[in-house]
Amino acid sequence: MLDKELINNKAEEIQEDLVKWRRKIHQNPEIGFQEVDTSNFIAEKLEDFNIPYERVCKTGIVGLIKGGKTGETLAIRADIDALAMEEKNNVVYKSKNKQAMHACGHDGHTTILLGTAKVLSEMSENIEGNIKLLFQPAEEGPGGAKPMIEAGVLNDPEVNYMLALHINPDIEKNMVGIKEGKMMAAPDIFEITIKGKGAHGAHPEQGVDPISIGAQIVLGLQHIKSREFNAHRPLVISCGSFQAGSVFNVIPETARIKGTVRTFDDELRHKIKARIIEMVENITKAYKAEFSFNYDFRYPPLFNDGELTNLIKEVVKENLGEERLYQIEEPSMGGEDYAFFAQKVKSTYMLLGTRNEEKGIVNALHSPYFDIDEDILKQGVKLFVYGANKILNS
């Protein structure tokens, strides 16, 4: 077993380094599969810690800490990519790239895993088993988890357990949010293109109006959720984009609707797709229009393993304090490609609170004003190191 006091002291000692690393990553954000500088920085740090690593999936990195005793293997994952948006914070570590920003806390996730790597590498002789460090690219959008799995990151040695966390501004700083079972939904995407017939706005009878047809489709999609499926089965259908025309007095030829469907079971995912197609087909036919349709089954729903999640609850209570445990009651309708890992391995995905109203740390994820309370970085390191200790050395 690793010494609890030693773990705590080591995490406290590297807090200044954690802040420094996080700010460097934050100032130099890169979007999915373009995280070249971020990847190189991670590699540089792993070399400093004498941790062997390999590069996968363009910009992904897998490090391996071998314990002093044989045993099982735990993998810990951090996503490393940023969002394609401009930062509006006025801070000394503001993004230098106007086309990208760490607005989802991935700079913090990467930093926490680097700190975890440093602490565990210095205590490896007392670890039973191995720890894989998965620095994953492209969580936002293209999805890097599945390609990493296909590249074999869960093999050699075979991974038995996995942990990951996400910084959350809705939970008070240093609180650890945990939930068994359903954690996050499958975030599927659809796109509908309606082809009508253009006409002058003064003579709509000469055309086929894709805007009015599209409006009926948007309203009809909400009918699917509210009137056709059991209210106890979580389901969200949202249209986030409706694009048509460019001038006030011309009925356009086409309209395009983009949206998302959020569910927790595969049967429902396929039923919703089929029902949307049926509805769009019937509405467009009724009004003499044509349509094209694309539906992208994205990430699967994310489920936390019950046994491992309860073990992590004990880790929080025993090492961080029972008052730091935040029991999440309802799953999120957001999506996470970490779900691909959770399909393969016993896994727990946690939320690390960062909300601090005194410091103004209150803005939502994906906001151009999002920031974190950097005091939580050492808390994340402690959580992972204590977790590794409990999982591998119990």
CA distance 360 to 186: 32
Q: Do 186 and 269 form a contact (C-beta atoms < 8 A)?
A: yes
Q: Do 235 and 290 form a contact (C-beta atoms < 8 A)?
A: no
- Of the residues 30, 161, 374, 386, which is catalytic? 374
Kind and range of the H or E element at 293? strand 290-296
Dihedral pair phi/psi, residue 355, rounded to 5°? -65, 130
| DSSP reduced 3-state for 195 | strand
- Of the residues 299, 326, 349, 386, which is catalytic? 299
Q: Do 194 and 289 form a contact (C-beta atoms < 8 A)?
A: yes
Per DSSP (E only), the strands in 325-383 are: 325-327, 346-355
Question: Dihedral (C-alpha) 343, 391, 5, 354: value to the nearest 10 degrees?
Answer: 20
**How many beta carbons lie within 10 A of that of residue 263, not counting itself?**
23
| DSSP reduced 3-state for 137 | coil
**Residues 6 or more apart whose Cβ sits within 8 Å of residue 373:** 173, 354, 355, 356, 359, 361
Q: Is 278 a catalytic residue?
A: no
Written as six digits, the tokens of 56 are: 């996968």
What residues are paired with 326 via a beta bridge? 177
Pick from 310, 388, 318: nearest CA to 2: 388
Q: Do 68 and 154 form a contact (C-beta atoms < 8 A)?
A: no
CA distance 67 to 213: 63
Q: Is 299 a catalytic residue?
A: yes
Q: Do 21 and 131 form a contact (C-beta atoms < 8 A)?
A: no
Q: Residue 196: left if φ>0, alpha if ψ -120 to 50, beta else—which one?
A: beta
Return the sign of the alpha-carbon dihedral for residues 155, 349, 271, 221.
negative
Q: Do 27 and 38 form a contact (C-beta atoms < 8 A)?
A: no
Per DSSP (E only), the strands in 219-276 are: 236-244, 250-251, 254-263
Q: Do 109 and 38 form a contact (C-beta atoms < 8 A)?
A: no
Query: Looking at the annotation, which residues are catalytic?
Result: 299, 374
